[in-house]
Amino acid sequence: MTTTPQAVRRASPRNRRRPATPADPARPLLPGAQPVSLLDPSGAPLPARTDYPEPPGDLLRELYRRMVIGRRFDTQATALTKQGRLAVYPSSRGQEACQVGAVLAVRDTDWVFPTYRESMALVSRGLDPVEVLTLLRGDWHCGYDPAARFTAPQCTPLATQCVHAAGLAYGEAHQGRDTVALAFIGDGATSEGDFHEGINFAAVFKAPVVYFVQNNQYAISVPLSRQTAAPSLAYKGAGYGVPSEQVDGNDPVAVLAVLTRAVEHARAGNGPFLVEAHTYRMEPHTNADDANRYRDGAEVDAWRDRDPIARLEKYLRDRDELDDDGVAAVAAEAEAYAADVRERMNAQPTVDPLSLFDHVYAQPTPQLIEQREQVRAELAAAEQEGDA
């Protein structure tokens, strides 16, 4: 092999400077290799992290309070299905750190885009529990006023809310408001196209959205391994230029810390942020589901040992932020909350068939007016028949 003079020159020590490595533009977008955790499974503190400062004590006590009430609400809602008061209820038991931590990280005037599994998050946000359960009781689709509560209707078509959140956040910024949109989504729904279109639109338009994936390991019966081959759902952010993080979703302190930073990132005008929380759905998909067909009790038990409420309680007790009296007071408040829900849900709601025509359009079409008259006549005839 001959050596050309140029080759010699290139190989000479003087020119053997290491080529400048271009910074990897994807690296800052990637989540940490392990989920962020600030408490160990028992509730003992892990080393503090400068990137995710621990939230203040009063906020953690409030987090604990709302988690306890939230779980009691969730148990009450499941009981209401057994009494036939709710058509169906998708429980989020075991996901309290995510449900409550996320809504504590946003302002009351930030917009939340919940799915059907976020009833606990919504009551934690201060929405009336009876209005939240209206969808599942079945007297209307959405019981609360979304505009007044900055809370979109609970979304049943999977992932579609991801695009709404992008549009709303961009629209708010366009009009000079610093609103952040928080979009809830589950692990299964990250396979839907609208998740990808939503996060991509938010990224391209630098819309202040936090996409919060609660990876509770199952989409009804289908495990995460059938949704993705990615090392973590949080890696899906990098492909869209969106920074992301993964967090231990049963560590309430970490969830609140990570969500707080994600919200700050979005509000500061840096565009969207993606968070994946690793958690577990302790109950079946809904009361109508049989989880024994697709997972065994040992798996559920293992997650019981990571219970988010027990973890935060131990942590707060160890720091003298909480004592027996405090625990008892919160438990009593949760019982009173559940009793109020029970009592108010036991009242039979009144439904007006003629209201079916009221909100299809701002003004009913002539055809709807005709149909309303037809229904009115049907109702009158039925009433007469009943009287006879």
Q: Which of residues 52-111 bind other proteins (CB under 8 A)?
A: 111
Task: Check binding of 291 to other proteins (CB under 8 A).
Answer: no
Residue whose token pair is 């969808």: 135
33 vs 148, beta carbon nearer other proteins: 148
18-26, 142-150, 225-233, 375-383 -> range binding other proteins (CB under 8 A): 142-150
Asked if 279 is part of the footprint of other proteins (rule: CB under 8 A), the reply reads no
Q: Is there a catalytic annotation at residue 281?
A: yes
Q: Shortest gap between Cβ of 349 and other proteins (angstroms)?
A: 14
CA distances from 105 to 91, 223, 258, 260, 321 (A): 22, 29, 9, 5, 20
Contact 260, 55 (CB under 8 A): yes
DSSP conformation class of 124: H
Contact criterion met (CB below 8 Å) for 203 and 166: no
Residue in 136, 143, 52 with CA at minimum distance from that of residue 92: 136
Which one among 23, 148, 347, 388 touches other proteins, defined by CB under 8 A?
Answer: 148
Asked if 341 and 130 count as a contact pair (C-beta separation under 8 A), the reply is: yes
**Closest approach of other proteins to the CB of residue 271, in Å:** 14
Among 9, 141, 226, 304, binds other proteins (CB under 8 A): 141
What single letter denotes the amino acid at residue 245? E
Binding segment (CB under 8 A) for other proteins, from list 25-33, 123-131, 154-162, 332-340: 154-162
With contacts defined by CB under 8 A, name the span among 156-164, 327-335, 344-352, 373-381 that binds other proteins: 156-164
Q: Is 278 a catalytic residue?
A: no
Nearest-approach distance from CB 195 to other proteins, in angstroms: 11
Task: By CB under 8 A, tell whether 163 contacts other proteins.
Answer: yes
Nearer to other proteins, 358 or 383 (CB): 358
Stretch of 59-67, 138-146, 242-250, 344-352 lying at the interface with other proteins (CB under 8 A): 138-146
Tell me if residue 344 is catalytic. Answer: no
84 alpha-carbon distance from chain centroid: 27
Please report whether residue 170 would count as binding other proteins according to CB under 8 A: yes
Stretch touching other proteins by CB under 8 A, among 61-69, 275-283, 339-347, 363-371: 363-371
Please state, in angstroms and rounded to a whole number, the distance separating the CA atoms of residues 209 and 212. 9
Catalytic residue (one of 285, 311, 315, 337): 285
Chain residues 184-243 in contact with other proteins, contact rule CB under 8 A: 193-194, 197-198, 200-201, 204-205
Provide CB contacts within 8 A for 257, sequence distance 6+: 36, 38, 49, 52, 53, 54, 55
Contact of 96 with 109, CB cutoff 8 Å: no
Tell me how far apart the alpha carbons of residues 366 and 359 are, in angstroms, rounded to a whole number.
Answer: 14
Sheet of 273-278, strands arranged across = 111-113, 181-186, 209-215, 273-278, 244-248
Contacts of 274 (CB under 8 A, 6+ apart): 199, 210, 211, 213, 234, 236, 237, 242, 243, 244, 245
Q: Does 350 bind other proteins (CB under 8 A)?
A: no
- Binding region for other proteins (CB under 8 A): 111, 140-142, 145-148, 152-153, 157, 160, 162-172, 174-175, 179, 181, 193-194, 197-198, 200-201, 204-205, 358-362, 365-367
Residues classed as catalytic: 281, 285, 294
